[in-house]
Structure formats: structure tokens, C-alpha cells
Chains A and B, each alone.
Chain A
Amino acid sequence: MNILKKIVVIVVASCAITTPLLAQNNLDSLQHLPEVVITEKYTDREIRSSAPMQVLSQKSIRNLNVLQLSDAVKHFSGVTVKDYGGIGGLKTVSVRSLGANHTAVNYNGFTINDVQTGQIDVGRFSLDNVDIISLNSGQSDNIFQPARLFASASVLNIQTIAPRFDDDQKINGRASLKVGSFGMFNPSVFTNLKLNEKLSASLSGEWLSANGKYPYILHYGEAGKDSSSVEKRENTDVQNLRLEGALFADFSNKSSGNLRAYYYQSERGLPGATIFYNTSDFSKQRLWDKTFFAQAHYRNDISDRWNFQANAKYNHGYVHYLDPTFLNAEGKLEDTFRQNEIYGSGSVLFRAFENLSFSASTDVAVNNMSANLPDFVYPTRYTLLTSIAAKYVTNQLLATASLLYTQTSEQVKWGTAADNQRRVSPYTSITFQPFETIDFRLRVFYKNIFRLPTFNDLYYSHVGKRSLKPEDTHQFNIGFTYSISIGEWLPLLTITTDAYHNKIKNKIVAYPNRNTFEWSMMNLGSVDINGVDIALESAFELSPKVKLLTGSSFTFQDSKNMTNPDSPAYKHQLPYAPRFSGSGRAAVETPWINAAYSLLWSGTRYTSTQNMPDNRLSGYADHSISLSKSTCIKQNKVVLSFEALNLCNKNYEIVRNFPMPGRSFRGTISIDF
């Protein structure tokens, strides 16, 4: 076997454990532009958007039977969540086969950045205080945003609940307790405080623990013909703590701002792959991580024509990894990694004409990293991002265009630093409604963007390579959206369909260098992706008191490896990208009880580059149901809910040899005050 290969896997798996951040970002609703008609009806945004945007509101999230953000994201079309199973397992989001490094995670207006791995573990985000999650392919139509939000192939937006008060209310909030199978215990509370007319605050805290010891069947060969044994997942415990506080100020009716602090810590076991004949000894690794950040946002609507905003953030991330079974001289492998980020951004929006506006943003970031590895080079990256953008809007037409300029400068304590980068990245999009009375729109976008090599890609021990170029992506999308309201019984039916062609060039892959013991990162891969995403959403009024809400998504992805015509894997489907996948959800709301059903399904996938039977991972369907009942006790809304998850009790695998939990149950009680 190859030690370096093993190290790479360990590092990638364990250190793609990340760093959250935040701020406030309901900018669209503040822009007095004609396309923003309704802000509460989120489906509106989805069908008006010139590039695909999928939205899940707080209410729809509740009907999905999900605990973690990663579970909710699985319901978006075009998305592949790589899920290593269990609460503590790593979960990363790849959109349209571009890879997790191309998905930015935007927490309340601030991009979460992990320079070490470039991947964000979305499993760590709770849904407890989340208001809306949305996913932009390409970028948002909002041009008044920090340059960083123009700088990725897709953006997953997480927006937490902002304080809202009834007339004379001074305090409100919610407390909840979730308990469930495999020792899950999850109390949480958030509260909003109105300090005075201009100042309010929100506080949120959450604890999540579980032993995660779920049973699974280990097959030692082809299912059906092989021997198998019933095992239990080991070393799967998690203990997470999240504390968050924010201050919101309205300085005047023109200027506002907010300040946020966030702390997260987690300790967990890494159960590892289910290794034949040696699973228990392989499941001993531990991971501790801590994240702290503070971020500030200021906005000034100087005039009807000019708006200004500024953002600033400090982030610290810490990861501690231990393998007590490693057979080196010390008898263990113990690594710690620290990351720091200082970030600032300023943006202006200028409404030149009623229909035409321009924006400019500049972001500056300094990122550094330290590690206890011998001869670690202590890299620092300075990044300058500048964007200019234009947007044209009429009732039937919306067009945007932007250019992003990126410049990086790398420094290391000793040795050679990685190459500095300078790039200009274009984007353009348009959506058009041909008939004024029919809610039917055609849309097109093109985006060319790249992702920088991560610090692991560049500097990690033997593997890193300093001369790496950024990994380039091209996205072409064409689609339509259609929305109709048919009488009282069907107040809403929307369909969005998009076809896309993506290309990845200079894909950064680990590859044997001089010989097979010496792997290194290389710009070797090339990928062609063709796909179709379809999403359907409808609301039925079965009776004046009974509503049925349904939603479904369907994805077709043909993602071809175009790297090497001589390889047997040439033109084969990328690993872990299902050709067909989808999701469905239905919720019945009655005055007495609410019921919800959700489904995730995926077709066959391949676990390695070569599409052959040995690498085939069969498809799965995961069905869940829930019942919830709300009542009022002394004017406080109390909700009781019960969920049954993965009803078919199949330990399907999203990642080979990382079985998912079978049937499990969860109960929640929450009280609004």
C-alpha cells in the first residue's frame, strides 16, 4: 500500500472540517428595483432569477425531516452531498459535478473560507436558527454584494433568523429539545431582545451529542452471494457546542449595521471506512475542532442613487487530529492545524437610471495557517478581489454582467512560496418573460471562474506542489421557469428546468509523480459535464382548512472524465456523481395535525474513475415521515413532532464503506415565547 495515499485521505477527510462566519444579507429586498415585488414568497425569487436559484424557507425545512443543514441541501436539484454517514461524518456539497471546492458557503453575507482544504463541512450547521437556505448556480442577481460572492461557481446561502418583534414585544424566542436514536440529545435556545428603538440583539445556543452507534450489515463481497455480518458503527460519538450572538442597529433610517460573534466546538470520533476483518482497530481516530469568528456589517443608503456597505471579519479555526493506532516511532499521529483570516470588504451601488444600476466591490483578505508538522512552511495568502457589475431590469427582462479581478500573493516562512495568481473572471446572465400575462421566463447564464489551490494542495508535506495553477470552470446554462395559479384549489404551481454544460480544466488531482510512492497534486484533470435539473413545486388547497404542499426535484448529470484518451476511464462518469437522482417532499397541513413525507433517491454511482461492475455502488431511496402538532399554552406556541427516518432501514452508502444509519426516530418539543 501507499502511505502517502493514506495520509492524503486522512488529511482530506479530517481537515475538510471547517470554519463558519456570518452577517446580514437581505439586500435584495432593500433594493428599490422593480423585479423585487414580493420578498416573503420565496418561490418568486426562484422563478425570476436569471441563474438557477433554489430556496428552502424555514417552513419547508421543517417539513423535510432533517436535522443538519447537509440533509436539507440534499433536496436541491443538481447537488451531490458527499456524506460519510452519522451526525459527525464529513459532509460536503458539490453542485453540478464541479466538486465541493467550487461551492462557496455564505453565512449571513460572509463567505466561509477554508484555505487549508477549500471544502466546507456543511454537517456542522444546525438548522435551529436558520431562516432561509438557498443555492445559487453561477451567482445571485443581486449585484450589491461583496466581491467574494462573485468568486465561486455556486453559492450556498445560509441566513439565520433576524429579530422581528410584534408591537410592544421586548423579547421573543424559541427553546427546543430534540432526542433521538443512537443517543442523540440536542437542546437549543434562541432569543431576540429589543434593547431600544434602534438596537436589538439575538442570542443563540445549542448542544448536540450522540453516541452514533448504529447497526449495519457488512458485506464481504457482492451482496446476495457473499458472506456478511451484523456490525455496529464504532467511535461515532459527537459532542458539539454552538454559541452565537448578534447586535442589530438602525442608526438612522438610512444607515444600519450589525455585529456578530460565533463560536463552535466539536469533539468527535472518526469511525473510518468499514475495513474487512479489521474495522474495529481502524476506528480509533479522533477529531477536535474549534471555530471562532466575529463579523461586522455596515450599510448606508446615502441617496436614492447611491448605496454603500462595508464588511469586516476575523476568523480563527483550529483542528486537532489524533490517530492513536498509527505505527510510527511515537505510536500515534497527532496533528494540529490553525487558520486565521482577516477580511474586509466595501461595496457601492449606483443607480444610473431607473432600470440600470452599477456596482463595484473590493475585498481584501489575509489568510494564514500553522501546523505542528515538522518543517511546515507557515503559508500566508493575501487576496485582493475587485468586482464591477451592471444590472438592467424591466418588468419582463433582467440582465446582469460582472467582471471579477483576483490577485493573490503567497508567502511562506521558508522555502519557495506558491505562484501568485492574477485573473479576470467574467459572468453574464439574462432572463426574459416573452408574454406579459404569462409567468413564463427563459434564462441563460455563462460563468467562468476558478478555485485557487488550497494550502494542502500547495504545501502539504510530500504531496503539495507549489506551481499549481487554479482549477478552471466554465458554466453554460439555459432554462425556463413557469409559474401558474389555477383557481383556489391550486394556488401555486411552478416548474423550473435548466440544461447545462460545464467544463473543468486544470482539475487539481493527486497523482503519482516520479513513482508510485511519491504522489503529488497536479493540474491534470479535465471534465465535461452535461446535465438537466428540473424542480416542481405546488400548493393545493384541498379544503379551506387543509393544504397540501409538494415539491420535487430531478437531476440528470452526465459528467465525463476527459483527462486521458488512453485511460480505460476515459469518458467515464465521475466517481460518486449519480447519472440520475432526485428528491420529493409532501406536507399536509390541517388545523389538527401536520404530516410530512420526504424522499431522497439516487441512481447507481461509481466509486472510482473506471465505470465497471466492481466499482458500482447501487442506488438508494431514503423515505422519512413526520407528524407534528402545535398547540398554544398561555399564548405560547408549543410544537411537538415525531419523525421516523430512513423507513426502509437500508444501510445505503453515499461513500463506499461508510454506511448510513438505518431506521431511526426523533422527537422534538419546542416552545415559542
Chain B
Amino acid sequence: MKKNFLLILLFTAVLFTACRPETIIDETELPAKEAKRLIILSEGSLNHNNASLAMYDFTAQKLDNKFFETANNRGLGDTANDMIKYGSKIYVVVNVSSTVEIVDAKTGKSLKQIPMKTADNKAKQPRNAAAYGGKVYVTSFDDTVTRIDTTSLAIDGSVQVGRDPEGICIKNNKIYVANSGGLDYSTGNFDYTVSVIDLHSFKEEKKIEVGKNPYQVFADSQGDIYVSTRDIYNSSDWTKIDVPASFKKINVSTGKVETIATISPNKFTIVNDKAYVLVNNYTKTIIAVYDCLNEKVVTNNLLSDDTEIAMPYSIAVDAFNEDVFVMDAIGDGSYGNIVCYDKNGKYKYKIKGVGLYPNNALFLD
């Protein structure tokens, strides 16, 4: 028995080491380490140039909510929408200032500010980013995905997608982009597709119909793509919703789009093959958890206690210990908080005053 067990152990170890060099081909696929610092992006308010990066030291339990500004003697700009970590750098997407700031993750110093402008010098209004294979891909409201080379820190390509692309993810050498058409909200003429771009040729291969106003896209390890769509309002009575926000999956094996009916997302993220969905409910903070491998809802609400969150704005999950962080924007113009729950949804602690409308968090070792 014992021998058998050891044999199996040995066998799996061999299998693991054998597989490792093949499966782990990119930094995005490294296993998570224990986080020492939390970087929080706050979007700021329009026309106020007050987007900010905050840094929270888990050991010292200290917050520096001017991490970027102190390091660079200047502000991040107006309306920061997204950030990702890739290698030793953080890529911050600033929508209204129309820049991508490439920031050293350790020091907060900007290594380069890339102006996101079209050939005729118009603002592209970048929205979201994803990275793979030494490149960072950025969606912009000018209906493009821009590629940034992470060695030269310069733009080296651009591809046309659908209207007003928002979320972006990369899986199995494909880039998936949610085409929202959200800037045509007043006419109800939303886009309803996800563009699939080949990573190597950097050309759009096809568009998959997923429903009006798609917003975020993330992949699980099997290659299934999860998409959220936003509420569609009744055009003659804005107080009514025709189609509520929905949670969908593009099944990689069948290519079909399935709706996960019970969940109406506001924002979501996928960590360790679990989708953590901040449910579209303003009065109560609800986090639904969906198991992407077994394809079933784990819980309709992870949170076991009703901690006061004035305005749940975004969600992030630490892949190492699966602590869940909910960003509370408060909503009345005050600096927001970030609230930490353990993986069972039990309240742990709160970091106050991180910035105005916190919308993203990264875990750094």
C-alpha cells in the first residue's frame, strides 16, 4: 500500500515536472504567491484629474493612497479604468486622459506614459487591458485593440474590432474582446458581439453573438470564456429594464453561448477557476460564486454577514488565499474603502479611504 502510494506520488511528480515547461509558457500562468502588497486603482471623477493608485502594505497594515503621485510628482490623470500586472510592471489604462501608464510595480515610478492617440492625433479613450507573450493588449473606444510591446514599451500594432470594446482576455492563443456599443446607449443601438482575434496574426477571426452590451470577459483554465452583459433599459421608460444584466459562457468545445441564468452580474472576476460575481444589486452586497470547472453555482451569496457597503463597485480575489476584496465607492463623492472577506465570506477587515471610486486591485508579492 505504502509502496503504491509512493509510486503514485512519484509518478505524479514526474508528470508534473514533465508538463510544467510546456504548460507554463507565460508569466500570466505562474502560480500565485503570498501577497505582501495590495495595489488599488481608483478611477476618480470626470473632469477632476484625480485618478489614483494606492498601495497597501499587508504586513505593516499601512495605506499610501498617493502611491503614484508621490513617486512621480504628477497625477495619473482623468478617469482610470483598468490596470493589470505583467512581469514587474503595472499597466494602468487612463480613459479620459487617453494614456497607458507603465509603472514599476515596486516603486510606483512611471517608466513610460504612452499617449493613446489615433494617427490624426485624436484620443482613443482606452478602456481595458490584458497581457500575454510579452505584449499588452488594450481595448479603446475608437473600436480598436492596440498592442504594446513590453520590451520596447511602444505600440507595435492595432486591430479593428466591434464598437466601443470593453473587456478583454487571452486564452489558447486567442484574444477575446467584448464589443459593447455602449456609447450608443441613447439610441439603444448596442453592439452584441465578442470579437475573437488570433494572437499571432493579430487579425480578427470572427465575432460571436453574446447579447446586447457585453462588458467583461474572462477565461477559465479549460478555455471557456465568460461574458457579462449590462442592463438594457426600456427605451421609452428608462426606469424599466427590458433585459437585465446577464452572465454567459462561450463553451470552448461546442462554440455555443450558454446563459448562466441565476446570476445577474455587476462585475466579476475569475480566480482559480472560480468566478466571483458581484451581483447587480445596489441595496445589498451579494457575491455569487460559480465553479467554472464543474460548471455549477457554488453559492448564491458567499457573504455570511451583512457588512455595510454603501456602493459595491468592484471585486478582486487574492489567488493565493482566496480572500475576497470588495471595493466600496460610497457614491457621494467620498473616498471609497476596500473590504476584505476570507474565502468563506467572513468579514476580515476594511481599508478606508483608498481613493475616489476604487475599481481594481492587484496582489503583489
Contacts and interface: CB of A to CB of B under 8 A. Distances in A.
B123 interface: yes
Interface residues of B, number: 72
B97 A514 contact: no
Nearest to B125: A327
B73 A281 contact: no
Nearest to B122: A281
Given A5-B45, A614-B50, A278 B333 contact: no
A3 B182 contact: yes
A282 B98 CA distance: 10
A143 to B, nearest CB: 41
Given A1-B81, A221-B74, A415-B236, A516 B313 contact: yes
Nearest to B230: A517
B332 A564 contact: yes
Contacts of B289: none
What is the predominant secondary structure among interface residues of chain B facing chain A?
Answer: loop
B318 interface: no
Contacts, number: 174
A463 B282 CA distance: 16
A168 interface: no
B280 interface: yes
B257 interface: no
Contacts of B117: 281
A327 B164 contact: yes
Interface stretch (A63-71, A104-112, A605-613): A605-613
Interface in B182-239: 182-189, 230-231, 233, 235-239
A1 to B, nearest CB: 4
A516 B329 contact: yes
Nearest to B127: A1
Interface in B96-129: 96-99, 113, 115, 117, 121-123, 125
Contact of A568 (B49, B235, B334): B334
Interface in A373-432: 373-375, 377, 414-416
Contacts of B356: 608
B99 A9 contact: no
A607 B45 CA distance: 11
Chain A interface size range: 35 or more
B345 interface: no
A511 to B, nearest CB: 6
Contact of A464 (B97, B238, B334, B352): B238
Q: Which of A220, A278, A461, A657 has the most CB of B within 10 A?
A: A278
B273 interface: no
Interface in A303-343: 325-329
Interface in A211-225: 220-222, 225
Interface stretch (A25-33, A158-166, A268-276): A268-276
A512 interface: yes
Given A276-B97, A327-B164, A608 B45 contact: yes
28 contacts: A1-B43, A3-B185, A9-B46, A221-B75, A275-B77, A275-B96, A276-B49, A276-B74, A281-B117, A281-B123, A325-B122, A327-B164, A328-B164, A377-B236, A462-B185, A463-B238, A464-B238, A466-B239, A511-B332, A515-B281, A516-B311, A516-B313, A563-B332, A569-B334, A607-B48, A609-B334, A656-B48, A657-B49
Interface of B: 43, 45-50, 69, 72-79, 81, 94-99, 113, 115, 117, 121-123, 125, 141-143, 163-164, 181-189, 230-231, 233, 235-239, 266, 280-282, 308, 310-313, 329-335, 352-353, 356-357
Given A226-B74, A374-B235, A656-B47, 11 more contacts: A275-B77, A276-B76, A277-B115, A329-B181, A329-B183, A329-B189, A414-B236, A567-B310, A568-B334, A610-B335, A614-B50
